[in-house]
């Protein structure tokens, strides 16, 4: 295969920070910070909580509520239907010949990461994909037969001003999620649309001209977008393996800079890349003593106990039925989001600029986390921090119909909690 000579060009031949956050300064480890049960079997996508609920696994009442789960609110419906079009984005064929690339896979890896940042990603990591991270079958029973060796995983932060202005029970959590999912789907499907002939002579200095999966296919390597509603992998595991967070008591991955306020997607490929490796920023110890998410969960769905084996990993086990029941039947909207809101690592006022001079000292990182924890405690944890930041119309579902206007109905919410617990 022809290779591209970059010896005289200043193209990605450096170790500078690629994105807005200092991921390069985090401690890398050989294995995830949670214990793994080796050779665990692959799971079916229909065993995932929301899919299970939609198929009736948590009873007919919740199955019925899942039918209008996202679309019961107009803006949620708009996001949902547009997302379906993104998921139907056709995969172009892999180019018959491989385009010339640098022999040094570190350069190729940095190029792909930098392109992901260009398309809008806020954090990017690379990992090898263990076979048990792939689903055995999709929700409809279709076997997941094609597996890829590498994943380029990227995160975008969810809309923090909206989260700060809510109290964790309102409808907009799902809308905030979809806003991020759409951005991710565009990135993972596109990353660019040059013909193969154009790619043969391309100068990698001009990566800004290329909008990843399609781009990699046009380089001559198999690739697939792995985005919301079209996953073939268990995404939280990819996020952890790519060094973008650690498993937490919440039951999801928490990032040291974004906390739990992010969404993820990936591009799966066989293009040779250099994995980043998992990270260790002390979250296992912190979660073992913090427990704010468990204390503030309205459904008591988050464990206050010790880790236990779950689908091949030692994790804090979440009561999936309670969590999904609240989200699906919430009279004030879709899902909840309270655990992500109260996690002290989710700091709405702390963007990339807060970490520009961070030298990797975890004590500095944890000082801001503890400051956030004290602020939450003094403000009642889930009470809105920025009331003036509200832009949505309050509503409640009564007798199957949406009623707009008025204040949040705490009595309706209390009765809902009692029923669904």
pLDDT in tens, 289-324: 999 999 988 888 999 999 988 877 888 989 988 888
What is the arithmetic mean of pLDDT over 217-230?
Answer: 87
Sign of CA pseudo-dihedral 269, 270, 272, 275:
positive
Which pLDDT does position 193 carry in this prediction?
Answer: 36
**pLDDT surpasses 90 at 45:** yes
At residue 60, the pLDDT reads 87
Read off the pTM. 0.86
28 vs 334, which has greater pLDDT?
28
pLDDT band at 165; cut points 50, 70, 90: confident
Q: Is the pLDDT of residue 268 over 90?
A: yes
Average pLDDT, the chain: 80
| pLDDT for the residue 209 | 28
Give Cβ neighbours of residue 388 (< 8 Å, ≥ 6 apart): 165
Overall average pLDDT of the 262-270 stretch: 92
Asked if residue 325 has pLDDT above 90, the reply is no
Residue 382 CB neighbour total at 10 angstroms: 17
Q: Where does the pLDDT of residue 287 fall: very low under 50, low under 70, confident under 90, or very high at 90 and above?
A: very high
CB 44 within 8 A of CB 137: yes
Provide the pLDDT confidence category of residue 234 given band limits of 50, 70 and 90.
very high
Q: What are the E-state strand segments in 181-334? A: 223-226, 246-247, 253-254, 262-269, 308-310, 313-315
d(CA 110, CA 18): 8
pLDDT band at 173 (very low <50, low <70, confident <90, very high): low
Instruction: Tell me what pLDDT residue 51 has.
Output: 86
């Amino acid at each position: 295969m022809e290779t591209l000579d970059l010896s005289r060009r200043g193209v990605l031949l450096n170790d500078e920070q690629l994105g807005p956050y200092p991921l390069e300064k985090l401690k890398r480890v050989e294995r995830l910070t949670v214990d793994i049960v080796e050779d665990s079997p692959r799971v079916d996508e229909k065993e995932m909580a929301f899919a299970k609920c939609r198929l009736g696994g948590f009873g007919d009442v919740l199955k019925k509520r899942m039918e209008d789960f996202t679309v019961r609110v107009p803006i949620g419906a708009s996001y949902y239907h547009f997302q379906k079009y993104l998921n139907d984005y056709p995969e172009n064929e892999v180019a018959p010949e491989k385009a010339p690339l640098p022999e040094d896979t570190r350069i190729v890896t940095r190029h792909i990461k930098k392109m992901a940042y260009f398309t809008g990603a806020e954090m990017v990591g690379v990992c090898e994909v263990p076979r048990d991270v792939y689903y055995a079958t999709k929700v409809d029973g279709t076997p997941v037969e094609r597996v890829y060796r590498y994943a380029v995983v990227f995160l975008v932060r969810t809309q923090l001003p909206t989260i700060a202005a809510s109290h964790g029970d309102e409808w907009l959590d799902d809308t905030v999620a979809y806003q991020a999912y759409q951005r991710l789907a565009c990135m993972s499907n596109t990353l660019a649309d040059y013909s193969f002939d154009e790619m043969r002579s391309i100068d990698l200095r001009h990566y800004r001209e290329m909008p990843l999966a399609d781009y990699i296919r046009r380089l001559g390597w198999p690739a697939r977008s792995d985005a919301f509603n079209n996953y073939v992998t268990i995404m939280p595991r990819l996020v952890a393996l790519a060094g973008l967070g650690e498993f937490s008591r919440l039951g999801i991955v928490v990032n040291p800079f974004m906390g739990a306020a992010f969404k993820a997607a990936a591009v799966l490929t066989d293009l040779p890349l250099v994995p980043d490796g998992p990270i260790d920023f002390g979250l296992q110890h912190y979660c073992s003593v913090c427990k704010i998410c468990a204390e503030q969960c309205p459904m008591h769905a988050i464990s206050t106990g010790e880790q236990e084996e779950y689908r091949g990993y030692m994790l804090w086990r979440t009561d999936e039925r309670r969590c999904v029941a609240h989200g699906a039947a919430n009279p004030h909207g879709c899902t909840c989001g309270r655990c992500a809101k109260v996690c002290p690592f989710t700091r709405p006022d702390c963007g990339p600029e807060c970490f520009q001079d961070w030298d990797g000292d975890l004590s500095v990182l944890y000082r801001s986390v503890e400051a956030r924890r004290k602020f939450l405690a003094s403000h009642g944890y889930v009470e809105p921090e920025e009331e003036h930041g509200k832009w949505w119309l309050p509503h409640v579902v009564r007798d199957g119909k949406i009623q707009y206007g008025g204040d949040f109905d705490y009595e309706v919410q209390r009765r809902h909690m009692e029923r669904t617990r």
